[in-house]
Amino acid sequence: MTGILNYGVGNILAFERIFKQIDSKILIVNSGEDLDKCDRVILPGVGHFDVAMKRLNNSGLRDSLDKFILTENKPLLGICVGMQMLGYSSDEGEMKGLGYILGETKKINIKNLQNKPYLPHMGWNNIHFNKNDTILNEIENDENFYFLHSYHFVPKNYSDLICFSIYGEKLSAIVSNNKVYGIQFHPEKSHSQGIQILRNFSKIY
C-alpha cells in the first residue's frame, strides 16, 4: 500500500488517479493511523518551502512520518518541494527541513543562464543517469520529464545523486539515501515516463 501524505500541499488527487490507473493500492494519509497501514509514502509539495514545512509540522503527521522513516526504515518519495524538504535547509526560507538526506536547497544560479526567461526552470528537460537504481527501471537515459522550480536540492554526498538535469548548471533530478527518494520533476505531469517512475516506487519495500 502506497500512502499520499495529505498535509494541505500538492495535488494528491493527481497521484491517486495514477495509482488507480496502474492498479496499485493507494491511501490518502490523514493521520498516523493511516500511515501505519502503508508500506511506503509520497510527500508531495508545491509552493514556498517555509509554507510547506509549517503545514507539515502543524498537520499532526510529522511525528508519525519521522517514525515511519527513521525508526521503521520505510520508503518515502518527496516530489518537487517535497524533495527540497528532505534536506536540512533551503535558501527559500528560514525553517529547518526534515533532515532525511544530507544536503540543502539552493537557488539556481541565474548567472549561469544565458537565455531568457531565466527562472523558473520550467518545461521539459532531459535527465542524465549518475548511477543505476530501482526507481529508474524501464526509464532510458536522457528521457524527458517536466520541471517547474527555481531552487534545487544539493546533496552533501555525491553518492546520493541518482540522476541530474542541466539548466545552466547541473541540477539534481533524483536523489536517494537508503529508501528515501527525492524527485525534482513532476512525475504526474510527465506522461508515461512519469507514470513508470511512480510504478517503480510502488514496488520498493
What are the residue numbers of the active site? 80, 186, 188
3-state secondary structure of 142: coil
Q: Which DSSP letter does residue 90 get? A: B
Sign of CA pseudo-dihedral 46, 83, 126, 3: negative
Eight-class DSSP state of 110:
G
Could you tell me which residues are beta bridge partners of residue 183? 79, 174
Omega cis (within 30) before 155: no
Q: Which residue has the cell 520541471?
A: 147
Contacts of 168 (CB under 8 A, 6+ apart): 108, 109, 110, 112, 113, 114
Nearest to 44 by CA among 85, 73, 74, 72: 85
Among the listed residues 5, 31, 10, the one whose alpha carbon sits nearest the alpha carbon of residue 148: 10
81 φ, ψ (degrees, to nearest 5): -60, -30
| Residues 38, 40: Cα–Cα separation, whole Å | 6
